Amino acid sequence: MRKRARPMLWIRYVIYVCGFLLFWEWLRPLDEISDTGNLPIFILFTASCFILSAIRMPWWLRFVLKLAALMIVLQVSVMEENLIAGGWLSFIRTELPANLQLLFTGEFASLTPFFRTLLFLILLWLMSYLLYYWFIVANRIFFFIIMTFLYIGILDTFTPYDGSEAVVRVFLISFFAMGISAFARLYQGGEKKQFPKQLLLWTVPLLVILAVSAAVGYAAPKLPPQWADPVPFIQTMSNSNEEKEGEGGIKKVGYGEDDSRLGGPFEQDNTIAFWASTEASGYWRVDSKDVYTGKGWERSREAEPENFQSGEPVGIDLYTGNVATEAREAVILPSPNQVLDRLVYPYGVQTFFSDPVAAAVDPDFGVVETFNRAQYPEENYTIAFEEPQYNLEDLRNDSGMDDANTHYRYTQLPENLPERVRDLADEITAAGDTRYDKAKAVEQYFNQNGFQYRTQDIPVPEEDQDYVDQFLFESKIGYCDNFSSAMVVLLRAADIPARWVKGFTEGQAASNPNFTTPDGMTTYMVTNANAHSWVEVYFPDTGWVPFEPTQGFTNPAEFVSEEETASETPETEPETPEQEDPEPAPEQPEEQEEAPVQDNQTAASSDFHPLYWIIPSIVVLLLAIILYLTRYRWLTAYYVRKYRKEQSEETFGKAYRYLLRLLSHKGFSRPPSQTLREYAQIIDKEFGNQHMSELTAEYERILYRNEKSAQAWINAVELWENLIKQATS
């Protein structure tokens, strides 16, 4: 059997060589359809992996040799550091973390050449083992042959690669491999015969058939294509789907121009739009629109951008000279695979330094268009801006008169707007004495009346249905476009000038391997999923002030009062108290009382019977266990008495966080990715009331927006105590 198995093994190796030749056909098109360089060295690496997989040796030795071959290819193709000197270790340590982050976020185009080459080599390594298993161990080659034909056919149809010759080569190799495989099965199951003679008698006719087939295939006349080219059909269907998406179908997250018909769900898209390094985080503004049509937003006129030179004042004046500002700077690095034809900017933008990108600005709508961005897709630009700090007292005391044009333009509403929208606006703003109070009342309305933030299963308004009316009174579910449009319409119905603004949120802090963050700045990765819309309200003595009605989002603008320092912001305030632990205060006295008792007992006399110190120790241990198991009961009693007397932001923050800990102890834990508002809705659903949402709103008012009042404190304490009772009952 061993003598007979040896010829069979050699036949399998011949088939394995055919597998390598077939896989070679997978690599040949890379020169034309990708920017893969040094293709011969990758083919050599693949061949070495195939050979090492076939040679009998310990697995660890095979692994070491393949790893050495991989490092040599990396050294020759992409790495400048000397492999022998060991510099590649530090190179890999810096490359891997940044590229893994890009890989997990789906930004494959931003991967560095080193990491892409590494992934490609690992793929070749794995394919060599997989084909070894298919061709030698399992003896199943037909599936890979079919996949090869499909691969060549798809590339030939949808890419510039011409697969005519490749199909012939694949046919010849596959036919030969299948013929030899058939011979192996017949020889293994038949009578014992002379191996070389049988192989020769089988191979010669097989080669003759292949040669004749190839000759006939080349020489025979060929009919023109009998099927229509599928590419134009697919492109037509794609364009048709894009048109349908604009009519209330599924939309894809990202900045778009057409906002005339809003509504419907969207798909998340984490493609990177741009990177931003800035001294002050905030929203990135792009555009504003002033006409609400009942279905979406349009402009009252076409944008008329005027050219400006790099370094010149851009002229987008969003606030007056009464607003305190602080000079800041930001650097925007666009994503190479998503070219925005508009420049993004923060509030208070003064100047763009964007050579060689040519730009023009329409200050009225705040649009900064570019004309040659496609020529410089990776050219970064610097922004000088004055970060505003809005004074709450000034906003409440802003009693200036709107100019007639501004008031008329930004209180426009459709004539057929349902009357119940106007009635709701009057109801919400009735208690407000100032424009700021009324705007805040509308902003907070969506946090207390059953509205939900959601991106899926969003109903599309009917043809005769108003977009905002449907959201306010029927669905009460939606995303930023729903919330922001509803707030603008309600404010306009209350005769307050407001407009709809769009752009991007600040993004996520991350490092960019292709860009060094300037000193004093933080780099943010902004994706299409960060596309956002919000609201700006006009104050005659202040200018345009941003508001954020969307659930789960916090207004990035800085609001200060005369009692606060200019350095306090709504974003940084909650971080400090969250690091404090409310429990050590009551626990520390217990530890101070118990420790001396133990010391006195052990120091009294060494002649005591062991029971004299064992029994007290057990009692103390039991008391400690009981105190720990009942800690939330006595801690609750302690905090209730404490928080009734102390009225301060710090005390309220501790009380709110203690409630979160208590709820988590009762089984209502909050995931890190879940916002407080979303968590509050879950608690309200469990308890059958709106207390948690109302308390969360008070928490944001007192801590985030610095809105203080005695009545607000009384309401917050009452809500907190009710929730504590429900959680501990």
Tell me 573's DSSP state: T
Tell me 700's DSSP state: I
Mean pLDDT, residues 36-50:
86
Look at residue 412 and tell me whether its pLDDT is greater than 90: yes
Query: Which of 163, 189, 219 is the last residue in one of the domains?
Result: 219
Rounded Cα distance, 541 and 553, in Å: 27
Rounded Cα distance, 360 and 364, in Å: 12
The pLDDT mean for the chain works out to 77
Q: In angstroms, how far is the first alpha carbon of the chain from the final one?
A: 79
Contact 654, 642 (CB under 8 A): no
In total, the chain counts a number of residues equal to 729
The b-or-e profile of 139-174 (16+ CB within 10 A means b, else e) is eebeebbeebbebbeebbeeeebebeebbebbbbbb
The b-or-e profile of 433-445 (16+ CB within 10 A means b, else e) is eebbebbbbbbbb
Which stretch of 16-25, 435-444, 457-466 has the lowest confidence by average pLDDT? Answer: 457-466
Residue matched to tokens 């990396």: 74
Contact 351, 521 (CB under 8 A): no
Q: Residue 729: its pLDDT value, please?
A: 65
Q: Tell me the pLDDT tens digit for each residue of 644-662.
A: 666 666 777 777 777 787 7
Query: Which of 219, 247, 275 is the last residue in one of the domains?
Result: 219
Mean pLDDT, residues 656-676:
77
Look at residue 243 and tell me whether its pLDDT is greater than 70: no
Tell me 549's DSSP state: -
Rounded percentage of the chain residues whose pLDDT exceeds 70? 75
Look at residue 368 and tell me whether its pLDDT is greater than 80: yes
Q: Crossing angle of helices 631-645/710-728, nearest 10°?
A: 170
Contacts of 8 (CB under 8 A, 6+ apart): 184, 187, 188
Contacts of 523 (CB under 8 A, 6+ apart): 275, 276, 277, 509, 510, 511, 512, 515, 517
Look at residue 241 and tell me whether its pLDDT is greater than 50: no
The parent domain of residue 67 ranges over 2-219
Using alpha carbons, list the distances in angstroms from residue 60 to 74, 600, 677.
Answer: 21, 64, 54
Using alpha carbons, list the distances in angstroms from residue 557 to 284, 351, 354, 391, 705.
Answer: 12, 20, 25, 11, 10
Contact 210, 175 (CB under 8 A): yes
Q: Tell which wins on pLDDT, 184 or 485.
A: 485
Q: Tell which wins on pLDDT, 373 or 437.
A: 437
Look at residue 327 and tell me whether its pLDDT is greater than 70: yes
Residue matched to tokens 């000079």: 327
The SS3 of residue 473 is helix
Does the bond joining 596 to the residue before it have cis omega, within 30 degrees of 0?
no
Alpha helices in 505-583 (DSSP H): 575-578
Q: Residue 88: its pLDDT value, please?
A: 64
Is the Cα dihedral 674, 443, 536, 245 positive or negative? positive
426 belongs to a structural domain:
no
Rounded Cα distance, 398 and 392, in Å: 10
510 belongs to a structural domain:
no
Q: Which of 603, 602, 596, 600 is nearest to 614 (CA)?
A: 602
Using alpha carbons, list the distances in angstroms from residue 86 to 82, 83, 90, 91, 543.
Answer: 7, 5, 8, 9, 60
Contact 491, 557 (CB under 8 A): no
Contact 117, 77 (CB under 8 A): yes
Contacts of 460 (CB under 8 A, 6+ apart): 248, 263, 264
Q: Residue 558: its pLDDT value, please?
A: 86
Q: Residue 709: its pLDDT value, please?
A: 58
Q: Residue 437: its pLDDT value, please?
A: 93
Let me know if 269 is exposed, middle or buried by CB neighbors in 10 A (0-12, 13-18, 19+): middle
Rounded Cα distance, 565 and 659, in Å: 29
Contacts of 101 (CB under 8 A, 6+ apart): 510, 511
Vertex 643 angle, CA 570 and 696, to 5°: 40
Q: Tell me the pLDDT tens digit for each residue of 67-108.
A: 889 888 887 876 655 555 555 666 667 777 777 877 777 666
Rounded Cα distance, 443 and 428, in Å: 10
Q: Residue 681: its pLDDT value, please?
A: 85
Mean pLDDT, residues 315-331:
90
At 248, the pLDDT band (50, 70, 90 cuts) reads: very low
Rounded Cα distance, 127 and 53, in Å: 11
Rounded Cα distance, 200 and 689, in Å: 86
Mean pLDDT, residues 573-589:
38
Mean pLDDT, residues 343-363:
89
Contacts of 303 (CB under 8 A, 6+ apart): 362, 365, 367, 369
Q: Tell me the pLDDT tens digit for each residue of 692-702.
A: 888 788 777 76
Tell me 319's DSSP state: B
Domain count, the chain: 2
479 belongs to a structural domain:
no
Q: Residue 686: its pLDDT value, please?
A: 79
CB 237: neighbour CB atoms within 10 A? 10
Q: Which of 284, 511, 304 is nearest to 385 (CA)?
A: 284
DSSP run (H or E) holding 386:
strand 381-391
Rounded Cα distance, 256 and 252, in Å: 10
Contact 110, 102 (CB under 8 A): yes
At 593, the pLDDT band (50, 70, 90 cuts) reads: very low
Phi-psi region of 496 (alpha: psi -120 to 50; beta: other; left: phi over 0): beta
Rounded Cα distance, 567 and 552, in Å: 24
Using alpha carbons, list the distances in angstroms from residue 713 to 37, 286, 434, 586, 693.
Answer: 67, 39, 21, 24, 16
Query: Hey, what are 203's tokens?
Result: 């191979």
For the chain, the farthest-separated pair of C-alpha atoms sits apart, in whole angstroms, at 114
Contact 530, 505 (CB under 8 A): yes
Query: Hey, what are 104's tokens?
Result: 């997990």
Q: Residue 278: its pLDDT value, please?
A: 92
- The 3-class SS string of 72-131 reads HHHHHHCCCCCCCCCHHHHHHHHHHHHHHHHHHCCCHHHCCHHHHHHHHHHHHHHHHHHH
Measured in degrees and rounded to the nearest 5, phi and psi for residue 728 equal -95, -5
Which stretch of 233-237, 449-453, 674-678 has the lowest confidence by average pLDDT? Answer: 233-237
Q: Which of 620, 639, 692, 623 is nearest to 663 (CA)?
A: 692
Tell me 102's DSSP state: H
Rounded Cα distance, 511 and 98, in Å: 7
467 belongs to a structural domain:
no
**Residue 54, amino acid:** A
180 belongs to a structural domain:
yes
Q: Residue 38: its pLDDT value, please?
A: 77
Query: Which of 219, 242, 273 is the last residue in one of the domains?
Result: 219
Q: Tell me the pLDDT tens digit for each residue of 546-565.
A: 999 998 888 878 888 765 54
Threshold 0.75, pTM exceeds: no
Contact 260, 297 (CB under 8 A): yes
Sheet with 498-504: list strands edge to edge. Answer: 284-289, 498-504, 531-539, 543-547
Q: Which of 37, 186, 66, 189 is nearest to 132 (CA)?
A: 66
Using alpha carbons, list the distances in angstroms from residue 191 to 11, 109, 195.
Answer: 17, 58, 11
Contact 131, 50 (CB under 8 A): yes
Mean pLDDT, residues 627-633:
66
Mean pLDDT, residues 610-635:
62
Q: Tell me the pLDDT tens digit for each residue of 467-524.
A: 999 999 998 999 999 999 999 999 999 999 999 999 999 988 888 877 888 888 999 9
Residue matched to tokens 């306090």: 568
Contact 538, 497 (CB under 8 A): yes
Mean pLDDT, residues 231-252:
47
